[in-house]
Structure formats: structure tokens, C-alpha cells
Chain A
Amino acid sequence: MMDDYNEKVIDNFRNPKNMGSMDNPDAEGEVGNPTCGDIMKVFLKIDNNIIKDIKVKTFGCVAAIATSSKMTELALGKTLEEAKDLTRDMVAKELGGLPAQKMHCSNLSVEALHKAIDNYQKKHMTKEHTTD
């Protein structure tokens, strides 16, 4: 199992970036469930359609933590549209690849990000509608 992780993955696992929670986030998104063993929760600060700050909390294996960290680095500073174009494969590629069995169960952080953006846009749209 271990030898399937490359050095980049291990390095991101050892020193994950943007981990933890956030006070008063503009949006949150959570994916996964305890049964499968991976849960990711993403917090966003959004200003002028741009991700100004991002934090993630992750329950999961080495791949789950490494991909969570890499996802935050890819998303930070992007517009919401650009962030929505991020995919699992892009995260995995940035990490130099993941063991095959980890691609679908542990590489969920992009979905948590997309969920947070969806939540933000829904909220935002409803607000626009109500102000109209």
C-alpha cells in the first residue's frame, strides 16, 4: 500500500497547506461519509468572484490529505469559474499521480470545493433575487 505513494504525495501529506477551519467563511462545502473513510470540508472567503482564502479539514488517508492540500493551492486566487473547472485528474496530476485505488475514494476534495462554490452561488443568486 505505502510504496504506491510517490514522494510528492508523501511530502504534501507531511506538510499539508491551508489545513483547518475559518472564521465566518463566505461558503462551505462538505463531501464524503464516515463509512467510506474520507470526509472533506472546504471553507472559502470570496471577494469579487475570486477565492481570496481557502481552508480544508480532512478525515482520511494519506491520499485524502495530500489531495486536499494540493486542491487548496490550485484553487487559491482563482475566479469561481476557473475553480469550477478544476478536476480530480488535475489534482492527481499535480501530485505526480495517485495509486489507482485511491483515485475515486480519496481524491474528493475538488468535489467539496465545487459544492462550496455551488452553495455560495445559490445563496448569492437568492440574494440578488430578493433585492430585485
Chain B
Amino acid sequence: MKVYLDNGATTMTDPQVSDTMAKYFTEVYGNASSLHSFGKSAKEALDISRRIIADSFNADSREIIFTSGGTESDNLAIKGVARALKDKGNHIITSKIEHPAVLNSCKSLEKEGFRITYLDVDENAFIDLNQLKESITAETILVTLMHANNEVGTIQPIRRIGQICKDNNIIFHTDAVQSYTKVDIDTKKIPVDLISISSHKIHGPKGVGALYIKKGTPLTKLSDGGSHEFDVRAGTENISGIVGFAKSVDLSTPEHIKLQNRLKDQLIDGIQRSIPDTVLNGPRDNRLCSNINISFRYIEGESLLMHLDMKEIAVSTGSACSSKKLEPSHVLLAMGIRPEHAHGSIRFTISRFTTKEEIDYTIDTLKPIVEKLRAISPLK
């Protein structure tokens, strides 16, 4: 049995998505900016796709910009707003547990003279709203905080964060790459100015994403070129990718969330029942339906990952040994998890294609591997 439990990294493209995309390579291949019928067909597909993404946020079509993915959306939002508002202030607030696309965009802005505050998180990776309020100064122009964490699934209280930003007249960006289609964001109800999303995390194709930009949000474009995407993002639109992205949004239903929540509980409970000395990293409630992150004490994550891979189960780890930097996950460390427990962490991320049988197989396979590695561990 081949079991893919690394859907936080990327997902299988739904065959219905790739089928839908096919004709946009060979039939509807026009440039959406062209005036002839080929271009018009492409433009029509682009408009319909944009409408689908906009509807998912209860937003206006003109508030959706297509990009090459979550990383570009984060860069465009953070650098774009910072540079547009640099005369107003030079302070940005983010957190210690953000995705590298956000953290490194902020690091890059530090070199341009911006000052960044990195908020702490508690043991379940929640930020402290009081610390957020206290960090705001007259110079603060942007708050960028992720909606749900990619490593431990923590869902931040985005409505309250948005309200704090709105009350202080500060732009609020959220990286919703992990939560999109799993936790709704109604932009008419939740005060948020920019939202980054990505297609390949939700069974769409790789290489396409989007940025929601609330009407009137100041933003300087990153790449110079044509006036595509309402003159915010230059470059010929990736029509096939965009159509596939919209299709993947169309295909996601609340039923999938229920299914994943059941499988998540099955995996957490199954592991904790059958294997001693295991700890769930992150909260049990206010957690993404797709994320399970568990530390297996006394053993190291890469070894466990490799043994699982030999049994055709794909997972990921927060262990230092699997990273090029040889440092444990910055998210787990920010949560105050001891390094040796961070080294033994495994992330299982499920999808709507995951089955109960796959979860059973994973639990059964884990037990002897963990026992074998513990038998040779000097910590046990």
C-alpha cells in the first residue's frame, strides 16, 4: 500500500482538474491580452476563474490577482505594501512561526531599513493578542500573520487580529496557503486586506496562486512589465494553471473537511493508544483538519521518516537532520518544544483522498519501527 501523508508539502492534482486543464494547452492557448478570438477565449476562462476565487472570499473579482504561487503572493503583499507605505512608517509586525516566504520577505525588508517585530507564540503556536497590541507603534504600517501554520496546523484568531489592525488603521496580510478551502475567510465579515493562497496545496496544479487585495490597498508592484492583473502583477497569465486552480476550488466541499477531521482524530488517537511516549505538537482544537504533528520521544525524525518511506508511507519531519541548515524546525522551537523532542517530530498531512485503511496501515507500520529505533536509542 502506497500512502501519501505529506499533503502539507503538496497534493496530488485531482484528475478532474488536469482533465479540465488539458484544452487550455492545445485549444484555448491564446494570450488573454490579445484582441482576437483566441485571446478572448483565454480572457473568458481567466474571468470565470477569477470569479470563482473571488466568490470563495465573498470578494469582488477585481480584488483577485493571480500569481505563480504562495511564495510570490507573500512577497508581493509584504514588499508591495511596505514599499508603498514607506513614507508613512517603517515598522512591520509578523511572528516567529511564519513560512519562510514571509520571514525572508521581512528579513529582506530589514535590509531596506524597515524594522520588524517577530511575535512569540505559546506552546500551541498561538500568538498573544496583547503582545500584538503592545507591539503596535505610530510607525506600524503592516501586520503579516499566517492563518494556519504549515507545521502544526494551529489556526490563529484571524477575526480578532484583523479587528486590532483595523482599529489601528494598519494593513493586515495573512498567508492562508494551508487553510484555504479548509477554513473560510469571508472578507465582508473578517477585516483582512491581503490573503495569499496557492493552488497545489488543494489538488490544483503547481506554479499558480493568488493574492486577494482589498480594494484601495496601497501596493507597489514587484516586477516591471505589462499591465496584466490590474497593473499589479506583470506577465502573461498562466491560463491552464489558473483554470485548474479554479477547478480545484470548485471541487472542494465541506464534506472533505469532515472526512479529514475524522481521519485526523483516528490517526492521533491510534498513535497515542498504541505507542507510548508520543506527544501531539500543536493544539487539539483550532487545528487544521489535515494536520497531525507528533513527537516520538527518544528517536530521531529522519530515521523514522526513512523507515516509513521503505514501507511506502510518505511523511515529513521537523528534525534538524533533514534540513540543510541542521537546525530543528523554527516553529517547534518557537513553541518552546525541547530540541530532542523537535528532532523526533513527524508531520502527517492528510487530504480528501486519504482513506481509513491508509491510516490503519500507518498506525500498524509505525509501532514496530518506533520500537526498533527506541531499542537502539541511548536516550531510552
Contact = CB atoms under 8 A, between A and B. Distances in A.
Q: Do A and B bind each other?
A: yes
Interface of A: 1-2, 10, 13-14, 16, 19-20, 30, 34-41, 56-65, 101-102, 105-106
Given A13-B306, A40-B378, A64-B321, 18 more contacts: A1-B324, A19-B376, A20-B375, A34-B340, A37-B300, A37-B319, A37-B340, A37-B343, A58-B377, A59-B298, A59-B377, A60-B321, A61-B321, A62-B321, A63-B321, A65-B303, A105-B321, A106-B321
Given A2-B306, A59-B298, A62-B306, A37 B320 contact: yes
Contacts of B367: none
Query: Among the interface residues B310, B320, B323, which one has the most CB atoms of the partner chain A within 10 A?
Result: B320
Given A37-B339, A37-B343, A57 B376 contact: yes
B53 interface: no
A13 B303 contact: yes
20 contacts: A1-B302, A1-B322, A2-B309, A10-B306, A14-B310, A16-B376, A36-B339, A37-B319, A37-B326, A39-B379, A56-B376, A57-B376, A58-B377, A59-B298, A59-B299, A61-B300, A62-B306, A64-B300, A101-B326, A105-B326
Contacts of B306: 2, 10, 13, 62
Contacts of A102: 321
Interface residues of B, number: 25
B338 A34 contact: yes
A115 to B, nearest CB: 13
B378 A57 contact: yes
B313 to A, nearest CB: 14
A21 B60 CA distance: 66
B191 interface: no
